[in-house]
Amino acid sequence: MAEVESPEQAQTELAPRTQSSTRGLVLVVGTATIFAAAFLLFTLQPLVGKIVLPRFGGSAAVWSVCLVFFQTALLAGYALAYGLAKLRPKQQIAVYAALWLLAAVLVSVPVGDVWRLTWFDNPAGELLLKLVRFVALPCVLVGSVSILVQVWARFSGVKDPYAFYAVSNIGSLGALLAYPTLIEPNLSVPISAGAWTWGFRFVALLIAGLSLAVWMARPGEARETDAADADAPAPGWGTTLAWMVLSAIGSGLLVSFTSRITQDIAPIPMLWIIPLALYLLTFIICFGGMYRRDWILPLALIAFALNTFVTLRYGWPDLGFERKVLGYEISVSGITVGLVLASSSFFLLVMLLHGELYALRPGARFLSRYYLVISAGGAAGGAFVSLAAPSLFKVQFEYPLLLALALAVLFAVTLVRGARLLQNFWLNLIATIGIIATGLGFTTGRIAAPLAFEGKDTKISYYRNIYGPMRVEASADRKSFLHGTTTHGTQLTEANTAPRPISYYSDQSAVGVVYRFLTEDEKRNPLRIGAIGLGVGTLAAYARSAPYTDAAPGERAVIFYELDPEVAHIARTHFTYLSQAEPNVPAIHFGDARTTLEQQPPQEFDMLVVDAFTGDGIPIHLLTREALELYLRHIKPEGTILFHISNRYLRLEAVVGNAAHAVGLEALAIDHNAESDDIDSSTYIVVSRRKLPLMTQKWEDGGETKVGPAIRDSSLRVWTDDYSNLFSVLASP
C-alpha cells in the first residue's frame, strides 16, 4: 500500500522551493531596480547642470552650490536608507513604498522660466532653494535605492547583498558613458527632463514590485538568529574610521588626478570621463568579488613606478612613437601614452583602496552603516580637494599628499597582509620604500618645479581659487598669465613696446583687422568695445589711439565682463594694459557675462569680443542661439561680434556659423597665421547683420590673415539653451 503524503510534509517540501523562487524574484527585480536608479542619479546631475547654466551662469558660488547640493543629497539618501533599516522589515517596506508612490505622483523635472534667476543680489541662495524644491526629493530617493535594496535582499535570504553595489556602479558607469554619447546628442533638455521623469516613475513601479516580492518572502517571520551573519560582531570605531579614510582618499584622488591630467597632459574637454569611469570600474570589480590583493598590490607599485619615472625622464611630448605592424603604420601620440600610464597607475591604486574597503566590509546586518560612512568619506575627500585645497595650497600639493596616503595604504597592506612584489621580505621592503619615496619626491618636485626655476631671471607669482591654479611668469622681456597649461595673455615689458597688444589680440588678428575697419574706413567716433573675458586686459590697448594700434585718434571705451575677480587683481598687479588705458576702461563687471548682460540695458557696442574659453572649460551657454540674440541686443545695428575660437581640441567654427545663420546673420572666419615671436596664431568668427568688406592680408613679417565665409554644417544641429552636443565637435588631439 502506497504511503500517503501528509499536508505538513507537502508544505515542508514546498517551503524551500517557494523561498528559492521568491529569492530569485528579489534578485532579478532588485538588480533591475538598482541599475535603473543609479542610471537616473548619474544622468540627473548633468541634466540639471544644462538647465541651470544658461540662467545662473558659471560663477564659483553657483558651482559650489551645485557641488554641495548633490553631495549632500546623496548623503541624505544613504542616511534615509540607514534610518529605515532600523525599522522592522515590513515597516520598512510600507514606508519606503509609500514615499516612492507619493514621489511618483509629485515629482517632475521642470524646465523653462521656473528656473529663471530673480534674486540678482543672491543667485547662489536662489539656486539652492530651487534645487531643493525641484530635485531634492527624487535625488534623495534614487540615492537611497541601492542600500535599501541590499537590506531587503538580506531579508529574502540573498547570501551576498554586497554584490548589488557592483550593479549600482554598473548603472552609474552606463549613465556616464551614455549621457554625452547618446542622450545629449539626440535629446533636447525638455525631452530629456520628460524622459527622466518617466524613468523615475518606472523605478517607482520597480520599487512596488520589489516590495511585493520581499513581502512575499515574509521577512517579518524570519528571526535575526536565522541569518547567516547573526553572530557577526558590530564594527568598532577603528574599522569605521578605516572605511571613511579609504573612501576619502579614493574620492580625493579622483578629483585631484582629474585636475592634474587636464593640466599635465592636455586641457581636452570631457577628458574627466576617463578617470571617473575607471573609478566606478574599481567598485564594480571589487564589490563583484574579483579583487585579488596578491595581483593588485605589485601591479599598483609597478604602474606607479612606470608612470613616475618614464614621464619624468621623457616628458609627455616625447612619449609618442610610430611603428609599422603587419604593413600598417601605427602612430601613437605622446598624449595617448602619457594618459595610459597615468590612468593605469590611478586605476590600480584606487583598486587597492576599494579592494581593502571591500575586505573590511561588516556582516550584512551592518551594511547600511557601512555605506553611510563610505558616502561621508567620499564627500569629505571631494570637498577637501574642491573647496579646501584651493585655500590651503598655492599649487596642487593635495595631489602628492593623497598619492602619499594611497601609497601608505599599499605599504601597510604589504606589511600586514604579506602581499609583495618580491619574494624576499627584506628586499621587497627596501624596494617598496625606495619606489614610494623616490616616486613621491619626483611627483612633488614636478608640481613645485616652477618654484625651483624661480630666480633672478624668472619671477613667478602664484594664485589659486575655486576655478583652479593660476600663475604669472615674469622674465626679462615679458610677463605671461597662465591657467594650467593655457596662456591667457602676455605683455612685453620694455617701455616702448609694453602698450602694444600681442598674443591673440595683435593688430594682425581679427580684433585688429575689425578695429581698423571701424576706425579708419568707417571713421567710428566714439567707439565702444565690449569684452567677455578679461585675461591680462590686452584689449584695453584698443582704448588707446595711434601709434600702437595704427588707428585714427578718437574717443574710445572698452568695457570688460569677467567671471573671476582674482583675474582682475592679477591684470592690475602684474600688467599695465588697464592702467595705461585709463580712463578709457570705465568698468569691469564681475560675474557671469550672460547673466550680467541680461540685467543691463542695451550697451550700444560697436564691437563685442567673446573670449571666455579656457582649455577644457567651455562655457556652452555663451555659444547658443539665445546667447547670440542677447549679444545682438547690446551691439549697434552695424556692430560686430567676434568669437575667439582658437582651440586644438574643439571644432567650434560650425557651431557659431550655424547659430549665426539661424538668426539671419553674416559670419566670416578670420584665421591669422603668425610668424612673429610675440604674436600667436588665432581663429575668430566675426558675426554681424551685414556683409563686412574684409579681405585677406599679408604682413611684412611673413604672417597672413585669411578671411573667408564661416563653415556651416547642416549635419550639426544649432546649439540652443535646450540642446548642445560637445561630443560632436571634438577634434583629435
pLDDT digits (tens, 9 = 90+) for 411-443: 888 888 766 666 667 777 787 788 888 878 877
Calculate helix-pair angle for 293-314, 425-447, nearest 10 degrees: 40
Q: How far is residue 454 from each of residues 396, 458, 460, 461, measured CA to CA in Å?
A: 17, 5, 6, 10
- pLDDT class for 170, splitting at 50, 70, 90? very high
Looking up cell 515597516, which residue turns up?
91
CATH number of the CATH domain containing 532: 3.40.50.150
The pLDDT of residue 588 is above 50: yes
Q: What pTM, to 2 d.p., does this model score?
A: 0.86
**Is 513 inside a domain boundary?**
yes
585 or 142, which is more confident? 142
Q: Are the beta carbons of 557 and 528 closer than 8 angstroms? A: yes
Q: Are residues 211 and 248 in the same domain?
A: no
Average pLDDT, stretch 495-518? 90
The answer to the question of residue 522 being in a domain is yes
Whether residues 645 and 524 share a domain: the answer is yes
Assess whether 143 and 168 both reside in one domain.
Answer: yes
Same domain (yes/no): 200, 277: no
Q: Is residue 425 part of a domain?
A: yes
**Same domain, residue pair 604 and 705:** yes
Q: Which domain does 187 fall in, by range?
A: 15-220
Q: What is the pLDDT of residue 312?
A: 66
Same domain, 511 and 613: yes
In a domain, 283, yes or no: yes
Residue 450 has pLDDT above 70, yes or no: no
- φ/ψ of 711, rounded to 5, equals -70, 135
- The residue among 188, 220, 252 that closes a domain is 220
Same domain, 172 and 245: no
Choose the final residue of a domain: 185, 220, 255: 220
> pLDDT at residue 546 above 80?
no
Mean pLDDT of 537-548: 75
pLDDT of residue 317: 61
Q: What are the pLDDT digits (tens) for 218-274?
A: 655 544 444 556 667 788 999 999 999 999 999 999 988 988 887 656 666 677 888
Asked if pLDDT for residue 513 goes beyond 60, the answer is: yes
Name the pLDDT band for 13 (thresholds 50, 70, 90): very low
pLDDT tens column, 639-688: 999 999 988 778 889 999 999 999 999 999 999 998 888 888 999 999 99
Tell me: the pLDDT tens digits for 351-360?
Answer: 999 999 999 9
In eight-state DSSP terms, residue 723 is B
DSSP three-state, residue 325: strand
Within-domain flag for 497: no
Q: Looking at residue 269, what is its pLDDT? A: 65
Residues 128 and 210 in one domain: yes
Confidence of residue 328 (pLDDT cuts 50, 70, 90): confident
CATH code, 215? 1.20.1250.20
* Model pLDDT, residue 50: 86
Q: For residue 33, is it within any domain?
A: yes
**What pLDDT does residue 414 have?**
85
Average pLDDT, the chain: 85
Burial label, 212 (beta-carbon count in 10 A; 0-12, 13-18, 19+): middle
| Domain final residue pick, 415, 434, 451 | 451
- 400 CB contacts (<8 Å, ≥6 apart)? 440, 443, 444, 447
Whether 8 maps to a domain, the answer reads: no
pLDDT at 628 over 90: yes
Amino acid, single-letter form, for residue 236: G
- Which residues, at least 6 apart from 706, have a Cβ–Cβ distance to it below 8 Å? 670, 671, 672, 673, 696
Q: According to the model, what pLDDT value does residue 262 have?
A: 73
Residues 88 and 189 both lie in one domain? yes
Q: Other C-beta atoms within 10 Å of 98: how many?
A: 11
Residue 681's identity, in one-letter code, is: S
510 and 636, same domain (yes or no): yes
Q: For 103-117, 245-259, 275-289, 364-378, which range has the lowest pLDDT when averaged over its residues?
A: 103-117
Q: Which residues pair with 369 in a beta bridge?
A: none
Tell me how many domains the chain contains: 3
Domain identity same for 207 and 336 = no
Q: Do 321 and 394 reside in the same domain of the chain? A: yes
pLDDT at residue 200 tops 90: yes
Confirm whether 473 is domain-assigned.
no
